[in-house]
C-alpha cells in the first residue's frame, strides 16, 4: 500500500514546531498533520455578536471588543491558588474578566491592549463578569481589525477534546497554522462516488469542520467526513471478501456422510427450522473451492453449538479435521465435555464400545499434563482425532494437523487477528481451512455490516423447544434491604429442590485487581480502573458458607485457579449425586459464555451495575438450560433513575438479546470496528455512529462493492489507498492477507 499524501503525512514538528508537536504526541499520540486534522471538534460554541458593555444581561453569551484597563492577581481565600482579574472597558461600561490559577495570563493581558473576549455573563458580589472567557488579543498598536473581529464574533468556536497539558485553544491554534497553508489534497473518495453522493472534497471538508463559517458549512463537512469513514471501512471489508474468494480451499461435500447421519438419527430432539437452514448454508459454503468465512450469530441458547458440531462432523466425513477454538480453558473443557457427551459412542473410535463410524475428540489446553498433551497431539497429527477442541494452545508450533478442513471460532471478539491467522496457516499444501465464527452476542444489522462486513452472516432467532423462561428481577440493596434476605432464601429453596445456583461477583478477592477478561469491569461494562466493587468471589463465598447459605455446599470458580481446579469445580457443580458435589458456585465472569449446566436454575449477580448489558445477558444465559423455570436476581446499590439502574431495568424487562444488543450499542457506541484497540490504537470511527447512520453505511457499502469489483487493487484511486493504509497499519494488513 502506498504512503499517505505528503501534505498529510508530514511530521507535525515541521509544521507547528517541536514544542507543540511533542505536547500533542504525548497527549494524543499525534505525529502527523493527518493525525491533527482528524482530531475533530467535539462541539461548537457560538460566540454571539459584538455587544456593548452597558447592555449586557446576566446569562447572555456575548462577545465584546474592549480595552484592558487594569489587571490584578490575588490569592484565593478559601483554598490554594490565585485569581487573576482583568478590568476591561469599551469607553461606556466596564466588565471584569476572571481567571482561576492562570497567573501566566498576566504577561499578555497588559493594560492598554485591545482584544476580543467571549463567554457567558455571570455576576459575583453584584459585579458582572466573564469567567474564563475565550480571548483574542489584537496586535500592539492595532486598535481595530475588521476581519479578525468579524471572524471571531460571528464564527462557531470549535471546542476540542483536551488534556491538562494541551488546551482546546492550543489545539485550535495548531490546526489554524495547518489550515492556513493547506492546499488541495488527494481525495480518498473517487470523483464519481463524490459526485453521486453530492459531497464536498477533502480539503474543503477539513477546513469547514475546523473553521465553519455557519451551520451549513459545518453540516456539509460532517456529512462528507462521516461518509468517508463508512466508505473507507467498507472498501477494506470488500477487499477482504474479494481476496478470500481467490484463496484456494479443499471442497468438502458434507451432506449424508455416515458420521453426521448417525448423529442426526440419535438426536433426542428435532432441529429448529433455523438450525436446518443455517446448516444448509454452511454445507453450501463448505462445498466450494474457496474458503468459507461465515458468522453464525444467535441469542443465548439458540443452538449454535449443534449447528457447528454438525458442520464439523460433515468435514470429518469428507476426510478432513475440524478445530474448535475457545477463548477460555473453562469453555474449551466445557465444549469438549458437551461434544463428547452428545456424540456418545461416535466420539470413541478405536475404543471398546465405540461406533465404527466414529472419530476421536481431542482436547488441547495450556495447563494439561505432559503425558496427556503428548497423547492428544499424537491423535491430532495422525488424524485419529477428527475434532480438536482447545484454547490458544491450538495455535502453538507444536500442534500439527493431518488435514485441517474447518476452523470454528467461538466468540471471535476474544481473539486477535494474529491468532486467527496462525490457526488458519495450519492447513496443508497452501490450502486455507474453511472458517466458521460463532457469537452468542446478538449483532444489530449496522454492526454486522461494519464489524463483520467481510463475513457472510447467518442468524438463529428461534430457541429450541424445552428451554425454560428466565424471570429476571432487580434487587435494590439500599432501598429494600429485606429483599436481599429473600434472595438468599430463594437460593436455598432452589438447592433444596435439587437444583444448582450461580452467584457472580465482579472480582476475585485478596486484592483490588483481577486478571483482564476475568470479571474486572468498570461500571459501564468497560475495563477496570475505576473504584473497585466491594463484592469478590472469595469474600462472598466465605460469607455465604458461614451465614445465609450455611449448610449448603458452596464452591468457587475464578481465573486464578489452575485448569485442573477449574475443571474439578465445574464437574462437581454439574454432578447430580455424591458428597463432593457443589450446590452453589460463586464465580467471576469466567462462566459468562458457553457453560452448560441444565440443573442450574438460579443466578444471583452481586454489584450487577458493574457489568454491561450484553455481559449481563450472557451471564443470565447460564441458567434456564433445562426444563425447569429459572430465576436471575440483579443485586445493586445504584439508586432508581440512575443510568446504571436503568441498564439493569432494561435487562430485567426483556430476554430478547437482539433488543438488548441494540440498546447496548446505543449506550456504549461501537468502539473500534477493525479491532485496533487490541493493540492500543485509537478508534477508527470519529463521526460515524453505526446506530444513527445506517443509511450512510448502506450507501457506502454499495459504493465500496462497486469500486472493488471494477478495480480490486485500487490502482486508479491512490487517495483511497492512502486512507486504507492509515486505517489498517502494515502489520495488521499482513495478518489480514494471511487470514
Give 3-68 as a DSSP string: PPPHHHHSBHHHHH-HHHHHHHHHHH---BHHHHHTS--SEEEE---B--GGG--TT-EEEEEEEE
pLDDT of res. 91: 80
- Tens digit of pLDDT for each residue in 178-209? 988 887 888 999 999 999 999 999 999 999 99
Q: Is 123 exposed, middle or buried (0-12, 13-18, 19+ CB in 10 A)?
A: exposed
pTM: 0.67
Q: What's the pLDDT score for residue 423? A: 67
Identify any residues that bridge with 98 across adjacent strands, giving them in sequence order.
85, 131
**pLDDT digit string (tens) for 374-402?**
999 999 999 999 999 998 888 777 888 99
Which spans in 609-683 are helix H?
613-620, 643-653, 657-668
For the CA atoms of 420, 426, 432, 434, the dihedral, rounded to the nearest 10 degrees, stands at -60
Angstrom distances, CA of residue 492 to CA of 476, 486, 600: 20, 10, 13
Q: What is the pLDDT of residues 642-698, one digit of tens each?
A: 888 999 999 999 888 878 877 877 776 554 444 433 333 344 678 888 778 888 988
- The answer to whether 591 and 616 have CB atoms below 8 angstroms apart is no
Q: Residue 734's pLDDT is what?
A: 40
For the segment 143-161, what is each residue's pLDDT rounded down to a tens digit?
555 555 555 555 677 878 7
SS3 content of the chain, % helix, strand, coil (to 5): 40, 20, 40
Please tell me the distance from the alpha carbon of residue 218 to that of residue 155, in angstroms, as a whole number.
11
* pLDDT over 80 at 173, yes or no: yes
| Model pLDDT, residue 243 | 84
Percent of the chain at pLDDT > 90 equals: 39
Is there a common fold for 48-146 and 470-654?
A: no
pLDDT at position 588: 92
Contact 442, 280 (CB under 8 A): no
Instruction: Give pLDDT, residue 450.
Output: 67
Q: What average pLDDT is seen over the chain?
A: 82
Higher-pLDDT residue of 142, 555: 555
Residue 194: what pLDDT? 95
Q: Over 80: is that where the pLDDT of 346 sits?
A: yes
Cell of 692: 444513527
Please state the domain extents for the chain.
1-47+155-183, 48-146, 258-460, 470-654
Contact 106, 73 (CB under 8 A): yes
Q: How far apart are CA 452 and CA 547, in angstroms?
A: 48
Report domain 470-654's class. Answer: alpha beta
703 or 728: which carries more pLDDT confidence?
A: 703
Between 406 and 461, the more confident residue is 406
**Residue 598 pLDDT exceeds 80:** yes
DSSP E strands in 328-469: the ranges are 360-364, 385-390, 404-410, 434-439, 456-460
Confidence of residue 501 (pLDDT cuts 50, 70, 90): very high
* CA dist., res. 515 & res. 703, Å (int): 43
Q: Tell me the three state secondary structure of residue 441.
A: coil
Q: At what angle do helices 643-653 and 657-668 cross, to 10 degrees?
A: 160
Superfamily of domain 258-460: P-loop containing nucleotide triphosphate hydrolases (3.40.50.300)
Cα separation of 662 and 639, whole Å? 24
User: How sure is the predictor about 281, in pLDDT bands with cuts at 50, 70 and 90?
Assistant: very high
Pairing of strands 293-298, 434-439: parallel
Of these ranges, 58-72, 206-220, 441-455, the one predicted with the greatest mean pLDDT is 206-220
The DSSP H or E segment spanning 566 is helix 563-574
pLDDT of 77 over the 90 cut: no
Superfamily designation of domain 48-146: Nucleic acid-binding proteins (2.40.50.140)
Amino acid at each position: 500500500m502506498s504512503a499517505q499524501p505528503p501534505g498529510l503525512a508530514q511530521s507535525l514538528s515541521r509544521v507547528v514546531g517541536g514544542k507543540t508537536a511533542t505536547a500533542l504526541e504525548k497527549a494524543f499520540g499525534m505525529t502527523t498533520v493527518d493525525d491533527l486534522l482528524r482530531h475533530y471538534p467535539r462541539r461548537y460554541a457560538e460566540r454571539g455578536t459584538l455587544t456593548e458593555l452597558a447592555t449586557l444581561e446576566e446569562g447572555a453569551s456575548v462577545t465584546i471588543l474592549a480595552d484592558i484597563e487594569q489587571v490584578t492577581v490575588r490569592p484565593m481565600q478559601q483554598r490554594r491558588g490565585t485569581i487573576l482579574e482583568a478590568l476591561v472597558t469599551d469607553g461606556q461600561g466596564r466588565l471584569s474578566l476572571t481567571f482561576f490559577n492562570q497567573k501566566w495570563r498576566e504577561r499578555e493581558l497588559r493594560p492598554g491592549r485591545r482584544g476580543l473576549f467571549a463567554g457567558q455573563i455571570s455576576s459575583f458580589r453584584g459585579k458582572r463578569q466573564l469567567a474564563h472567557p475565550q480571548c483574542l488579543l489584537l496586535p500592539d498598536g492595532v486598535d481595530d481589525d475588521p476581519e479578525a473581529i468579524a471572524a471571531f464574533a460571528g464564527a462557531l468556536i470549535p471546542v476540542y477534546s483536551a488534556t491538562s497539558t494541551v488546551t482546546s485553544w492550543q489545539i485550535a491554534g495548531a490546526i489554524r497554522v495547518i489550515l492556513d497553508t493547506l492546499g488541495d489534497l488527494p481525495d480518498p473518495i473517487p470523483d464519481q462516488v463524490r459526485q453521486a453522493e453530492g459531497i464536498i472534497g477533502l480539503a474543503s471538508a477539513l477546513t469547514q469542520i475546523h473553521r465553519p463559517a455557519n451551520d451549513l458549512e459545518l453540516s456539509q463537512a460532517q456529512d462528507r467526513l462521516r461518509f468517508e469513514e463508512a466508505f473507507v471501512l467498507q472498501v477494506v471489508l470488500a477487499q477482504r471478501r474479494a481476496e478470500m474468494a481467490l484463496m484456494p480451499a479443499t471442497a468438502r461435500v458434507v451432506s449424508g456422510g455416515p458420521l453426521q447421519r448417525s448423529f442426526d438419527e440419535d438426536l433426542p430432539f428435532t432441529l429448529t427450522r433455523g438450525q436446518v437452514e443455517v446448516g444448509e448454508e454452511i454445507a453450501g459454503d463448505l462445498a466450494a473451492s474457496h474458503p468459507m468465512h461465515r458468522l453464525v450469530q444467535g441469542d443465548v441458547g439458540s443452538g449454535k453449538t449443534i449447528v457447528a458440531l454438525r458442520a464439523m462432523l460433515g468435514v470429518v466425513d469428507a476426510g478432513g479435521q475440524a478445530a474448535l477454538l475457545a477463548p477460555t480453558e473453562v469453555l474449551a473443557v466445557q465444549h469438549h465435555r458437551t461434544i463428547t457427551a452428545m456424540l456418545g459412542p461416535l466420539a470413541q473410535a478405536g475404543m471398546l464400545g465405540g461406533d465404527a463410524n466414529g472419530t476421536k475428540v481431542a482436547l488441547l489446553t495450556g495447563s494439561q499434563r505432559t503425558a496427556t498433551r503428548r497423547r492428544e497431539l499424537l491423535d491430532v497429527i495422525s488424524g485419529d482425532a477428527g475434532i480438536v477442541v482447545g484454547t490458544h494452545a491450538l495455535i502453538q508450533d507444536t500442534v500439527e494437523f493431518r488435514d485441517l478442513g474447518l476452523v470454528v471460532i467461538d466468540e471471535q471478539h476474544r481473539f486477535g487477528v494474529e491468532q486467527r491467522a496462525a490457526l488458519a496457516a495450519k492447513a496443508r499444501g497452501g490450502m486455507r481451512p474453511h472458517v466458521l465464527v460463532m457469537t452468542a452476542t446478538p449483532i444489530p444489522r449496522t454492526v454486522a455490516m461494519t464489524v463483520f462486513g467481510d463475513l457472510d452472516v447467518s442468524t438463529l432467532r428461534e430457541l429450541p423447544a424445552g428451554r425454560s423462561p428466565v424471570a429476571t428481577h432487580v434487587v435494590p440493596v439500599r432501598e429494600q434491604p429485606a429483599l436481599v434476605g429473600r434472595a438468599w432464601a430463594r437460593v436455598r429453596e432452589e438447592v433444596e429442590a435439587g437444583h444448582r445456583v450461580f452467584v457472580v461477583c465482579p472480582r476475585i478477592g485478596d486484592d483490588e485487581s483481577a486478571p483482564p477478561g476475568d470479571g474486572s469491569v468498570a461500571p459501564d461494562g468497560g475495563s477496570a480502573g475505576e473504584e473497585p466493587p466491594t463484592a469478590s468471589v472469595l469474600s462472598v463465598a466465605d460469607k455465604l458458607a458461614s451465614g445465609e447459605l450455611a449448610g449448603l455446599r458452596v464452591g468457587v470458580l475464578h481465573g486464578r485457579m489452575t485448569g485442573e481446579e477449574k475443571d474439578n469445580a465445574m464437574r462437581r457443580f454439574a454432578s447430580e449425586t455424591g458428597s463432593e458435589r457443589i450446590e452453589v458456585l460463586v464465580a467471576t465472569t469466567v462462566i459468562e459464555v458457553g457453560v452448560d449446566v441444565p440443573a442450574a436454575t438460579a443466578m444471583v449477580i452481586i454489584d450487577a451495575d458493574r457489568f454491561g448489558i450484553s455481559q449481563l445477558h450472557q451471564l443470565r444465559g447460564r441458567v434456564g438450560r433445562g426444563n425447569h423455570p429459572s430465576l436471575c436476581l440483579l443485586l445493586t446499590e445504584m439508586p432508581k433513575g440512575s443510568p446504571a439502574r436503568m441498564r439493569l431495568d432494561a435487562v430485567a424487562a426483556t430476554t430478547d438479546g437482539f433488543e438488548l444488543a441494540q440498546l447496548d450499542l446505543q449506550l456504549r457506541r461501537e468502539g473500534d470496528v477493525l479491532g485496533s484497540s487490541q493493540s492500543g490504537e485509537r478508534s477508527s470511527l470519529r463521526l460515524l455512529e453505526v446506530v444513527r447512520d445506517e443509511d450512510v453505511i448502506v450507501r457506502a457499502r454499495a459504493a465500496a462493492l462497486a469500486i472493488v469489483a471494477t478495480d480490486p487493487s485500487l490502482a486508479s484511486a491512490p487517495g483511497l489507498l492512502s486512507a486504507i493504509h492509515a486505517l489498517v497499519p502494515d502489520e495488521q494488513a499482513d495478518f489480514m492477507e494471511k487470514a
